Amino acid sequence: ETVPDMSEVFDSNCITPGTDFMCVLSDHLKYFVYYKMQTDISWQNCQVVFSGQEVPGEGEHKIMEFIRTRKMEPGYDSNETHCLYGLDADLIMLALASHEPHFMLFREEVDFGMSKRDKEREEEMKMEGVLQDRSMKPADRFQCLHISILREY
């Protein structure tokens, strides 16, 4: 493999509020939502709440504040379902603290890599000239945690 030119490397530090990257991303997301609501019939009866990088706070805390605010509104349906996607460990605690009866967390299954035994086996297969077909890697798997079930236990 060749080392990529530094101009081709993405600097993940730019995923920080206030950077040029985040300002441009925020503008593009606002336009995308506006465009979809104008042109896509499946979006036209939706309420979209966009809280971009210019609004202080971490995403999950802004979402929880939104849920708390909704609960205070007259006519709030206590059977409303909330589904939150994310890998942050504190999401479970935030969801439990919401006391919402219908709250789910959706996340990708985390793969911590091959076990030592699997690595040794793969190495043995390489020595024997057997190559693994990496294109047969299973699709991403997801987990759905129903907070109400967790709360029961």
Question: Can you give the three-state secondary structure of 36-73, one letter per residue?
Answer: HHHHCHHHCCCCCCCCCCCCCCCHHHHHHHHHHHHHHC
Rounded distance between C-alpha atoms, residue 23 and residue 52, angstroms:
9
Segments making up each domain of the chain, as ranges:
1-56, 57-153
pLDDT at 86 over 60: yes
pLDDT (0 to 100) of residue 19? 92
Greater model confidence, 88 or 40: 40
* pLDDT tens track for 47-62: 899 999 999 998 899 9
pLDDT given at position 40:
96
Task: Answer whether 33's CB lies under 8 Å from 48's CB.
Answer: yes
Strands 103-108 and 142-146: antiparallel
Specify burial of residue 64 (Cβ count, 10 A radius: 0-12, 13-18, 19+): buried
pTM: 0.67
